[in-house]
């Protein structure tokens, strides 16, 4: 079948993807003296700074690095409008000395502008009653909105824990149909389940599997799939400065190998006419445009679609010696220094009917 490999062929293709092959293509050569100097000043691996120079130029790279150093951290909340009245929740939080601002692109989502010393936003009675979910940053809200799963649909979240995006998906589905929420970590899957219970959802099952292995274990075809891939988290350095030095180029190649396999697995699990959102909290093109391009080469029934809305930057057409599929310009890039959010990549794909 053209572009639609059978299960056995899909498994064979997955096994043919290796970190060694990835490393040959993504390795960074000729790191400049300026990159070494800036890396030393800010505490990064030099290859990361060289990469930022090639994507953004010298001056904008400094703006990015300064934004990581001095980011104005403000949590966001997702109101559970199936269980509560969002205006009443906001009023109650205001009475507790919180100040909330509605997010312009999500009518039931709010930024916590001011918070009291006590209680914390994650320990109020309203939180414990499941009236809202707390994110460390509003960028996490975007991927489910772009996926926009329909009411009553069959949806898969391949890497679902800790659960914020899965909860958002269930809200968009109006807690109908079925969400298959999977995570490879038993501990994190348990946490995911506790959030579902706290917020009163019913239309889900929780799996504890390697997302790549779902190709072998599921014979379902999903209407919608979210692939929130484990990544280097280069977009969240403001929350975890250890990410400046955590991922070597070899480590990155292993992550990219897994990301390609996860997204490719999703393309075999989605039905004809179905949609996939691939997302990472990374600003590395190797984990984003490169991954999407590789998967489009593996399955020609997949195509990139423009998102239903985009207030942010577009995907990169090329980076260094890497050339990407021309349609990755329709993917979303969120830059901390441009958009005052955690760094993210979000791409909407569709399978040809």
**DSSP assignments along 47-97, one per residue:** HHHHHHHHHH-HHHHHHHHHHHHS-----EEEE-TTTS-HHHHHHHHHHTT
Do residues 280 and 333 touch, judged by C-beta distance below 8 A? no
Contact 158, 220 (CB under 8 A): no
pLDDT, position 321:
85
* Residue at token pair 């959802």: 201
Q: Which of 159, 281, 331, 347 is catalytic?
A: 281
Domain segments of the chain: what residues?
A: 31-70, 76-135, 139-351
d(CA 135, CA 142): 12
Pairing of strands 332-334, 313-314: antiparallel
The predicted pLDDT at position 9 comes to: 67
- pLDDT at residue number 17: 81
> 116 is written with which tokens?
């009291």
Pairing of strands 322-323, 318-319: antiparallel
ω before 162 within 30° of 0 (cis)?
yes
Say what the pLDDT of residue 3 is: 46
Give the neighbor-by-neighbor strand order of the sheet with 132-135. 99-103, 106-114, 76-79, 132-135
Q: What is the pTM of this model?
A: 0.95
Return d(Cα 208, Cα 181) in angstroms, integer. 9
DSSP state of 286: G
Reply yes or no on whether 347 is catalytic: no
Domain 139-351: which CATH number of 3.30.70.270, 3.40.50.150, 3.40.50.620, 3.40.1390.30: 3.40.50.150
pLDDT at residue number 97: 98
Query: Is 78 in contact with 86 (CB distance < 8 Å)?
Result: no
How would you class 286 by CB atoms within 10 Å of its CB: exposed for 0-12, middle for 13-18, buried for 19 or more?
buried
Mean pLDDT by 10 residues, the chain (353 residues): 54 78 88 97 98 97 98 97 97 98 98 97 97 98 98 97 96 98 92 95 96 92 98 98 97 97 96 98 98 95 96 94 94 98 98 92
CB atoms within 10 A of CB 239: 15
Write the class of the CATH domain 76-135: alpha beta
Number of neighbours of residue 170 by Cβ within 10 angstroms? 29
**SS3 label, residue 110:** strand
């Amino acid at each position: 079948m053209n572009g639609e490999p059978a299960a056995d062929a899909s498994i064979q293709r997955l096994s043919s993807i290796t970190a060694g092959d990835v490393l040959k293509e993504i390795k960074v050569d000729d790191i400049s003296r300026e990159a070494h100097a800036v890396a030393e000043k800010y505490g990064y691996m030099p290859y990361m700074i060289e990469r930022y120079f090639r994507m953004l130029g010298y001056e904008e790279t400094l703006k990015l690095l300064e934004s990581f150093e001095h980011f104005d951290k403000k949590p966001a909340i997702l109101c559970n409008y199936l269980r509560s009245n969002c205006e009443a929740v906001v009023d109650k939080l205001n009475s507790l000395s919180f100040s909330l601002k509605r997010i312009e692109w999500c009518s039931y989502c709010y930024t916590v502008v001011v918070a009291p010393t006590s209680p914390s936003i994650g320990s109020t009675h309203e939180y414990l009653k499941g009236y809202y979910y707390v994110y460390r940053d509003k960028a996490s809200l975007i991927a489910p909105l772009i996926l926009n799963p329909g009411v009553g649909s069959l949806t898969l979240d391949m890497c679902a824990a800790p659960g914020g995006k899965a909860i958002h998906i269930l809200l968009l589905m109006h807690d109908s149909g079925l969400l298959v929420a999977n995570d490879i970590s038993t501990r994190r899957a348990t946490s995911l389940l506790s959030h579902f219970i706290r917020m009163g959802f019913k239309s889900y099952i929780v799996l504890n599997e390697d997302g790549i292995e779902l190709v072998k274990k599921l014979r379902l075809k999903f209407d919608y799939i979210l692939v929130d891939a484990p990544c280097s988290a280069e977009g969240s350095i403001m929350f975890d400065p250890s990410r400046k030095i955590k991922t070597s180029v070899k480590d990155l190649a292993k992550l990219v190998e897994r990301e390609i396999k996860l997204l490719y697995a999703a393309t075999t699990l989605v039905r004809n006419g179905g949609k996939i959102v691939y997302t990472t909290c990374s600003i590395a093109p190797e984990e984003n445009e490169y991954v999407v391009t590789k998967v489009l080469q593996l399955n020609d029934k997949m195509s990139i679609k423009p998102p239903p809305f985009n207030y942010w930057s577009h995907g990169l057409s090329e980076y260094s010696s890497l050339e990407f599929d021309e349609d990755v310009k329709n993917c979303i890039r969120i830059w901390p220094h441009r958009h005052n959010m955690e760094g993210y990549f979000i791409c909407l794909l569709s399978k040809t009917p």
